[in-house]
Each structure stands twice: as structure tokens, then as C-alpha cells.
Amino acid sequence: MTILVTYASRGGATAGVAQAIAKVLIEQGLQVTLLPMQQVHDLSNYQAVVAGSAIHKNNWLPEALTFVKQHQSALQTKPFAAFLTCLALAMTKQPEKTRTDVAQWLQPVRNLVQPCSEGLFAGVLDLSKISLGYRMLFRGAMLVRRWREGDYRNWPAIEAWAAALPSQLI
């Protein structure tokens, strides 16, 4: 069985999560192909797919949603898991409410293909990797909300989610 782990990332945080997921699956003895979504053209060689995207403006990145639309028929015939990375999950005083809100951002994906598992993970705030306009916006938000640059990915949670995937994908 070969599992495709694919992702859309802007600053590299989602790519790092995808790499961690692939590593866990490989350690469990599975064959894994790890590719950015733009490099995936055919799903016929894969028995299952794990796809993830960074969140921008409360949505998966456009190329990630395009990937699911283009491969919708194939994805509906095989086990499919979806994940997202979102800074909002780290920057909240109401984690459960925020998690519920963030989970809704996967609804466009669910409308196309129902995932057997969903992973919601905090991301990274690295101002050097975002556009000047967003950098200014985040600097203002950092003053008001006391956000700080940093890596907020919860590696044990990511690895635990990945470790549970084989029972859902096989």
C-alpha cells in the first residue's frame, strides 16, 4: 500500500507538518510518497491520500482546494484524510471555540470529499516569510493581542494524529 501525503504551504509550516506525518507513517512500515500538491497529477498509484493546507483568510489555500476539485472522483474512491495549519489555533484565549470555528474552514473540502480523519494544527508566525502588507497587519495584531513570532506546531499532537491514520486509511 502506498499513501500519498500532499500539501500546500506558503511559509513552510504546513510542509513541515506533512513531513512529520509522512515520517510517522513510514516508521509504521507503510510506503509513503510526500509531494507538494502542485507536483501531483495522478492518484492511481496511491491507495490512500492525506492532504493538508495552510489557512489563508479562513480557507484552505486556493491551490489546495483546486487539487481536491481536480481529483475529486479519485479521492471519493479511496481513504482520504485532511489537515490544516492555522495560526489562530495558537493565538486564542478560547481554544475550544476557536477549534470549532477553525474546523468549519474544512467544509469546502468536506463538500467535495468526506475525510475519514481531520487534523487541525497550529502553525508558525514568521514575519520574514509573509508579504509586507500582511507583515504590517500582523505587527498591529501583535501589539493588540500580544501575539509573538514563533513555531506553535504541537509535534506530539501531529505525531499522534498521524499514528492513528493507518487504522483509518488501510
How far is Cα 156 from Cα 158, in angstroms, rounded to an integer?
5
Q: What is the pLDDT of residues 18-58, one digit of tens each?
A: 999 999 999 999 999 999 999 999 999 999 999 999 998 89
- Would you say residue 115 has pLDDT above 60? yes
Here the CATH number for the domain that contains residue 114 is: 3.40.50.360
Spatial CA neighbour of 51 closest among 5, 120, 102, 103: 5
Q: What is the pLDDT of residues 145-169, one digit of tens each?
A: 656 788 999 999 999 999 999 999 9
| Residue 140 is assigned to a structural domain of this protein | no
- Report the domain count for the chain: 1
Q: Could you tell me the CA-to-CA distances from 170 to 2, 3, 142, 153 in Å, in that order?
A: 10, 9, 43, 27
Q: Residue 46: what residue type?
A: Y
| Residue 41 is assigned to a structural domain of this protein | yes
| Residue 37 is assigned to a structural domain of this protein | yes
| Residue 16 is assigned to a structural domain of this protein | yes
Give the confidence band of 7 by pLDDT, cuts at 50, 70, 90: very high
| Residue 129 is assigned to a structural domain of this protein | no
| Dihedral over Cα of 155, 168, 32, 44: its sign | negative
* Cβ atoms of residues 21 and 165 within 8 Å: yes
| Residue 58 is assigned to a structural domain of this protein | yes
Task: Express as a percent the part of the chain with pLDDT over 70.
Answer: 89
For the question of whether the overall pTM of this predicted structure is more than 0.85, the answer is: yes
Provide the residue range defining the domain that includes 117: 2-124+151-169
| Residue 44 is assigned to a structural domain of this protein | yes
DSSP string, 56-113: ETTEE-HHHHHHHHHTHHHHTTS-EEEEEE-GGGTS-S-HHHHHHHHHGGGHHHHHHS
Residue bearing the bigger pLDDT, 30 or 92: 30
| Residue 146 is assigned to a structural domain of this protein | no
* Cβ atoms of residues 13 and 85 within 8 Å: yes
